[in-house]
Amino acid sequence: MNLTSNQSNNTLNIMNTIFRDFIHVFSTCSLVLVVSLIGTQNLLANNGNDLWLSNHLSKQVTVIGSLKTPMLQLAAKELKNGWQGRDGATVLFTIKKDKSIKLDGFRLDSNRIQSNSELGILYGVYDLLRRQQTSQPIGSIVSNPSYELRILNHWDNSDGSVERGYAGRSIFWRGGGTQLSVTEGDRLLWQKYARANASIGINGSVLNNVNANPQALSIEFLQRTCAIAKELRPYGIKVYLSINFSSPAELGKLKSSDPLNPEVINWWKSKVKEVYQLIPDFGGFLVKANSEGLPGPQDFGRTHADGANMLADALKPYGGIVMWRAFVYSPSDKDRAKQAYNEFVPLDGMFRDNVIIQVKNGPIDFQPREPFSPLFGALKKTSIMPEFQITQEYLGHSLQLVFLAPLWEECLQSDTHQEGDGSTVAKCTDGSLFSQKHTAIAGVANIGLDADWCGNAFAQSNWYAFGRLAWDNNLKSEQIALEWLQQTFTPDQAITKKITPKNWQDAFLTPVCQMMLQSRETAVNYSMPLGLHHIFAGNHHYGPGPWYAPRGLRKDWTPPYYHQADSLGIGFDRTSKGSNAVSQYHEPLNAMFENVESCPENLLLWFHHVPWTYRMKSGNSLWDELCTKYNSGVNSVRGFQKTWDQVQPYVDKDRFLDIQHMLRRHTRDAQIWKDGCILYFQQFSNMPIPLEVERPIYDLDVLMKMEMLYP
């Protein structure tokens, strides 16, 4: 079902009003009142459209101080609408320079929000409300963002489709020509999107696919971009566009797009001028160049730096930036994992200060587990930003429950050792270790026109988690999950007659949070344990296909290239005897990854080709361990089904049934992963499946024919 924001759910609003005081009561633990309130109602539909921002009737609050601008008035309105603190309280907004407040950060206590900027006040309001709703302490807090730019990347095409999107069509583009008029429904939808982003600190949106069409810079496209920017601006969100490097030739009809050609340079200058005339606060360009068949400066014998700098020079007078992606690889390279490092490290220090190199968390491509990209910390004189994938391209689309904060936390907290111990990816990218003119982080969005925006309720948690980690790259996954659950499944949407704060905590929050925290490792276990990667059956990137190798297809697009299974063992040898990708990591990681004994077992087959009989730390042979991991992955998802069924009394019917249904399919597909991979690899290991492991229920030949395409 598709629903745009203007189709509001009146029933929900009315029912929310009935429970207006529940949240406050909940936080002050007035159990008796809670029980009687809840006991009178039991039907609340919830299609998830309100995300983590459900309406709650507020207590009385007066806002004083600076309220001069529309953004401050918006901040005051939000505070009044959501206030759950002391009834009759007064809150003071102050815009005042303070050395301890950075960027759009803020200082806050229960009756004052101070910031250097209006946007900081708005963020302070959302933070205060979040704290009230999740019963977190509100002492004297200073909160500064880890990154200056916190950006969603939408892989949306102008025809309205979304690359790797699993939640319906684009919220920005509709097809049929982007010149189609902007409707009131569009505007309301974009406002709602902007508000959700601002509530978690996101301040930028790239509106179109990195596989950009040159038409993205056409006047029709720019006009719609301008209309989107207008709705996002009040919430402090700048718009950016992905551009195609051949735009001068394709759109401008020039003979070339060579970045050193004066005509090309001028074309970009006048195009940028046109953009800023329409959108004075335009953020800049995102560029995928010389990657997966897209054009780029190398087509003209130039470097990434030549290409990026030419664009940066055009954007500089207006304060715009270039986010230049390091996701590059070609079929010629022997180890795809090494290519980005090889291409970008020699260019360190050669980029303009308004260029940021955007680097995926791992060296291959958003796999369920990868080591961090060795570019983090290796680029020392160039701004660099992490790119995470919120949409679950390789982690079950919107059909599987996978909470991604643990994956991102693992990456951010990985120690690169580049500047001594403790040089985490977080510190290598947020300006703590290297002086970067700009700091930034990007997440590939999972948002579409579906009523719940993301395809299922739990997929929303990944949007939320990205924003929260972009604001504070030291947050723990558990805190994020708990916060999100408390705001998303607030008890006023529960249907039980017997809910109390204590049993909500024990019977709902704790087990569901546990399930979320386990879900990423679970996905690794039933799909690609022990460092296996990229073994999907084709381009849909959903189901297993370790056997998938159609004749004529580029080797690096086939799973056997990655798993290298043979009668001796399995895994990609990236040691000095193999591709030597280990050499791209700083000591002591280089030595640690090089040695099979010291290599972390969760990355073993990423770095080593290991004999089937190799003894693992558990005492199991590698083969037995692999089977055991697949088995535990499936068992965990079965556990999620039980956990979810147990929390039925605490969840509204719609979302309960939706997730119950999803988990059924999730389990079935996890089983297919397990059976497909175990039976396929067994042909090489020639070893029996350990008896403790559940027997396969599918036949390999059936699975090999089954495409498991996204339905």
The set of catalytic residues is 292, 365, 393
For the residues of 407-425, what is the DSSP string, one character each? HHHHHHT-B--BTBTT-BH
| Helix 219-232 and helix 262-278, axial crossing angle in degrees, nearest 10 | 40
The helix or strand, by DSSP H or E, that contains position 286, with its residue range, turns out to be strand 284-287
CA pair distance 213, 526, nearest whole angstrom: 37
Nearer to ligand GCU, 172 or 656 (CB): 172
Nearer to ligand GCU, 59 or 338 (CB): 338
Q: Which residues contact 300 (CB under 8 A, 6 or more apart)?
A: 256, 257, 258, 259, 260
CB of 389 to ligand GCU, least distance (A): 8
Q: Which residues contact 658 (CB under 8 A, 6 or more apart)?
A: 456, 457
- Where does residue 184 rank: exposed (0-12), middle (13-18), buried (19+ CB within 10 A)? exposed
Cis ω on the peptide bond leading into residue 559 (within 30° of 0)?
A: no
Nearer to ligand GCU, 163 or 263 (CB): 163
CB 191 within 8 A of CB 217: no
CB 650 within 8 A of CB 499: yes
CA pair distance 530, 435, nearest whole angstrom: 36
CB of 416 to ligand GCU, least distance (A): 22
CB of 71 to ligand GCU, least distance (A): 34
CB of 209 to ligand GCU, least distance (A): 7
- Rg (C-alpha) for the chain, rounded Å, is 26
CA pair distance 638, 665, nearest whole angstrom: 11
Nearer to ligand GCU, 104 or 156 (CB): 156
Q: b/e for 132-167, b at 16 or more Cβ within 10 A?
A: bbbebeeeebebebbbbbbbbbbbbbbebebebbbb
- Tell me if residue 94 falls in helix, strand or coil: strand
Q: What residues make contact with ligand GCU under the rule CB under 6 A?
A: 163-164, 210-211, 288, 327, 365, 393
CB of 280 to ligand GCU, least distance (A): 29
CA pair distance 698, 324, nearest whole angstrom: 45
* CA dist 161 → 295, 481, 544 (Å): 22, 30, 25
Q: Which amino acid is at 591?
A: A
